[in-house]
Chains A and B, each alone.
Chain A
Amino acid sequence: MTWFETLGAMLSSPLMQRALIAAVLVGAAAPVVGTFLVQRRLALMGDGLGHVALTGVALGWLVGTWAGLVPQDALAIPGAVVAALIGSVAIEWVRARGRTSGDLALALMFYGGIAGGVLLIKLAGGTNANLVSYLFGSISTVSTGDLWWTAGLAVGVLLVGLGLRHVLFAVSHDEEFARGSGLPVTALNMVVAAMSALTVTIAMRVVGLLLVSALMIVPVAVAQLVVGSFSRVMALASGIGVAVSVVGLSITYWEDIPPGATIVLLAIGLYALAAVTRPLLTRRGAGDAPHDPHPELPDDVALPVVGAGPGAADCRPGAPGGATR
């Protein structure tokens, strides 16, 4: 069988088709949200929400067991959506009340989410093994129902993220100015938080809750090394997200390795590559914009020294020969 035929076989497998569609949608949507999160220095928010979503998965499982649903985890994704949304609103609420306790609230959420998930899954009659597929992703088990959820939410996140990108940039870039422009800042912050929550739940199947944030953040980290404007970072990050998701997933069709981890390691590999090659790329263009990092401020005192040569230290009267520094 040639390489080309293998590719054809991969693309004609319904399971792989579903997985690829999910990967493309998640890979495109997650970095769009991630760009706003990185801009607001909330890169770890996706992680916090991922942990909370785990409690939601277990809660959905518990409700499913009580209601006697046939696949016990039929309500896992709706449960995750609800829990992550509540968590995102809680994080924004804490952030709005006082910045200092923001990371503490995030920490409480991390541990509370994991502990709640482990406890509830036991109550639901499941085992921790059931949670593992949510923690690390199991794209091979994507059902048609899951695909609809993923597609609907990803398209929604993309539409909101791109449609409102100017105003979300304004709020993320300079929150005070946005407030002083009469923008509904709190509501817009909630929109970003809710978008993160939804992204976490749709990426859950592809890369798993523990690695969800990587798909949101790492492509942005790569893109900001390469391009110098917000809109280009967003576009490039989205492209990188799609590329690593599709390539990572395709590799797992031939090799028996976990797709989520493969996708994330590919993205981090790209980051390393960009970080190493960037000095080579920027040196070429360095000549046309000589740049002094010091701001153009007038001196506070009249300085007599014009050329700071070896004798510059002499202008300190009474300095003991500059023996020690």
Chain B
Amino acid sequence: MLVTDTTAAEPAVLATGVDVVLGGHQILSGVDLRVERGEVVALLGANGSGKSTLVRALLGIAPRTAGEVRLLGGALGNGVPWERVGYVPQRLPAGGGVPATALEVVMSGLVHGRTLRPPRDARKRALAALDEVGMAAHARRSVLQMSGGQQQRVLIARALVRRPDLLVLDEPTSGIDLPTQETFVATVRRLHEQGGTVLVILHELGSFAGLIDRAVALRHGRVVYDGPPPDPRGEHAGPGHEHTHPHADPPPPDPGTGLSMEVLP
């Protein structure tokens, strides 16, 4: 888990001049992002600002039209030590006609990069990861029968089963139950204490406030803010703090309706 290799000097995430064009629309233009080892960085911005696309481009899911990405010292592609990168998407895909158990989904996290077959202790590791998120009792249930929060915790386990040095979370707080939110915060805190790096997409800092070292905000596909997390007031440090008062600082938090009246380019 600890960073001991020769590439330790390189940042965990280093993106320079990333352009992404999807469906003829310029979603990201010239985004630079640097996340040092051991940092917890929040990626902020309104709906449609390109946060998710940036994360997807960093992981090689969304195709880049320009720019360079290096993760944990390796160029995107075969150079990245994928066994040390964990990704938690916003939700599980709807799935096909074949049921899959939580254990099978978590074990699918153990194939990555050029490792096409899981290790021998895959089952043990997957059960341990499910135990970490409090889902060990549901290991043999089909994920399609689970609630949204339970599915989300299975997805966290799928990322943790790799014992990642870099964890990327896509909006872990939107529309999930409280135990799952607590699981997310506890996971980030534990990883941070072990020297790991976390990049997390957030609408508002909320329960993560005390953990965030730095915030990067996007607007219209460009970085418009990079610095200390906005509104770092003392009472936010408490893990049980309820986010109930409005922000006055940029960037404005999303109203949370899920609706955007903005006309996208």
Interface residues of A, Cβ cutoff 8 Å to B: 35, 38-41, 43, 163-164, 166-167, 169-170, 172-183, 220-221, 224, 227-231, 233, 289, 291-292, 294-298
Contacts and interface: CB of A to CB of B under 8 A. Distances in A.
Contacts of B99: 224, 227-230, 233
Closest 9 CB pairs of A and B: A295-B148, A180-B59, A170-B108, A296-B177, A182-B82, A181-B112, A39-B96, A182-B113, A167-B111
A166 B101 contact: no
Given A229-B99, A230-B101, A233-B99, A297 B148 contact: yes
A172 B112 contact: no
Contact of B80 (A39, A182, A231, A296): A182
A179 B57 CA distance: 11
A224 B98 contact: yes
B87 A221 contact: no
A166 B97 contact: no
Contact of A291 (B96, B114, B145, B177): B145
Of B97, B107, B116, B178, the most chain A CB neighbours within 10 A belong to B97
B147 A295 contact: yes
Contact of B97 (A38, A169, A175): A38
Contacts of A221: 97
Contact of B101 (A35, A228, A294): A228
A181 B109 contact: yes
B105 interface: yes
A233 B60 contact: no
A230 B60 contact: no
Nearest to A179: B61
B117 interface: yes
Interface in B94-139: 95-101, 103-105, 107-114, 116-118, 122
A175 B95 CA distance: 10
Interface of B: 56, 59-61, 77-78, 80, 82, 85, 87, 89, 92-93, 95-101, 103-105, 107-114, 116-118, 122, 140-142, 145, 147-149, 158, 175-178
A183 B96 contact: no
Contacts of B122: 166
A313 to B, nearest CB: 26
A183 B97 contact: no
Contacts of A177: 87, 89, 108, 158
A295 B158 CA distance: 20
Given A174-B93, A230-B99, A183 B177 contact: no
A194 B108 CA distance: 22
A179 B98 CA distance: 21
Given A43-B97, A229-B99, A229-B140, A166 B117 contact: yes
A169 B113 contact: no
A301 to B, nearest CB: 12
Given A173-B105, A176-B89, A228-B142, A220 B98 contact: yes
A181 B111 contact: yes
Contacts of A35: 98
Given A230-B100, A295-B148, A182 B108 contact: no
Contacts of A179: 59-61
A163 B92 CA distance: 25
A233 B98 CA distance: 7
A138 to B, nearest CB: 31
A297 B140 CA distance: 24
Given A228-B142, A229-B104, A230-B104, A292 B147 contact: yes
Contacts of A178: 108
B147 A176 contact: no
Contact of B100 (A229, A292, A295): A229
B97 A224 contact: yes
Q: Which of A43, A163, A174 has the most CB of B within 10 A?
A: A174
B104 A296 contact: no
Contacts of B93: 173-176
B112 to A, nearest CB: 4
A231 B149 contact: no
Contact of B78 (A39, A169, A182, A289): A182
